[in-house]
Chain A
Amino acid sequence: MKKVNKIKIKLNGKISIMPNNLTILGYIKKLKIPLNKVAIELNHEIIDKNKLDKIKIKKDDKIEIVHFIGGG
């Protein structure tokens, strides 16, 4: 069986184990999150949605995915 490398990252403040070699876009798709309704931050920097397929997630990256909720 092929061994799949896993890495540890922080996603929305919680530790998450994910496959190595995924781009942010690949990960968002894997999580089934609608891209048009969210914004993404990688290590405190906002990532242009057009560049998500070019950035590979690395060990210990901090990713924040936010959206709109009800508020006053």
Chain B
Amino acid sequence: MKVDNFIVAKKNFKSRLIVGTGKYKTMFECAKAIKISGADIVTVAVRRVNIADKKKPLLMDYIDPKKITYLPNTAGCFNSAEALRTLRLAREIGGWKLVKLEVLGDKKNLFPDIIETLKSTEILSKEGFKVMVYCTDDPLMAKRLEDVGACAIMPLAAPIGSGLGIQNQTNIKIIRNQTKLPLIIDAGLGQASDAVIAMELGCDGVLVNTAIAKASKPFEMARAMKNAVIAGRCSYLSGRILKADYARPSSPLKGLI
């Protein structure tokens, strides 16, 4: 069988599951869930160091950036200037150029402000960043993001943290058919079957945070998501049967007694 690589910005990754590191009860739980999930890319946020409490555990002490690719995000940024500032700081921490751009436009639904997102993608790409872009599932905007230099298109399945699963499969299929860039479902998945559907639609990967971190048993959900992504990808590559309106017997009629 042909080797099925997951390549983002010319870098090869083993797992098609990207995991967020937010919302876990402890750093230990976060690190263990990531290990179980098999993810080799994790999203991270950039925030102020807690000067008053230096004993607070640091993410880097639990998740080794030499072993797992950190994908700095711009969560919490509501305009281009904030997002650019955040990612330039992220790059300064240790040379990170592969980033997740997320410019939010609405505090209630956390939908992306796609105009600010487009502007930021263009600037960041020109500065040498490899920009994976959180966006709406609008095929036209996905194309425009691609045209200004995005290295991966990451449409939402549903609002961040909602667990609703993919709300518009048709749009995801249209984006799949129009782009050769990695297509990654980002946000809104709730359970393993949602990840399977994403992969069966032809997505190259999925990004999951809340569905794992807030599951009653995060480690079990991490395992489920890992297997779901593998199963969904295999299913997509296997070429499913055509749907039929009537039954087709599975046992031969010839030789029936």
Residues of A with Cβ closer than 8 Å to B? Answer: 11-14, 16, 31-34, 36-41, 44, 46, 48-49, 64-72
Contact = CB atoms under 8 A, between A and B. Distances in A.
B45 A49 contact: no
Contacts of A64: 48, 89
B123 interface: no
Contacts of A33: 49, 51, 54
Contacts of B30: 70
A69 B45 contact: yes
A68 B54 contact: no
Chain B contact residues: helix, strand, loop or mixed: mixed
A12 to B, nearest CB: 4
Contacts of B58: 34, 37, 67
Nearest to A68: B44
Interface of B: 20-24, 27, 30, 43-49, 51, 54, 58-60, 70, 72-73, 75, 85, 88-94, 160-161, 187, 207, 209-210
A48 B209 CA distance: 32
B46 A13 contact: no
A1 to B, nearest CB: 28
A37 B49 CA distance: 10
Given A31-B51, A65-B51, A36 B94 contact: yes
Contacts of B48: 12-13, 64-66
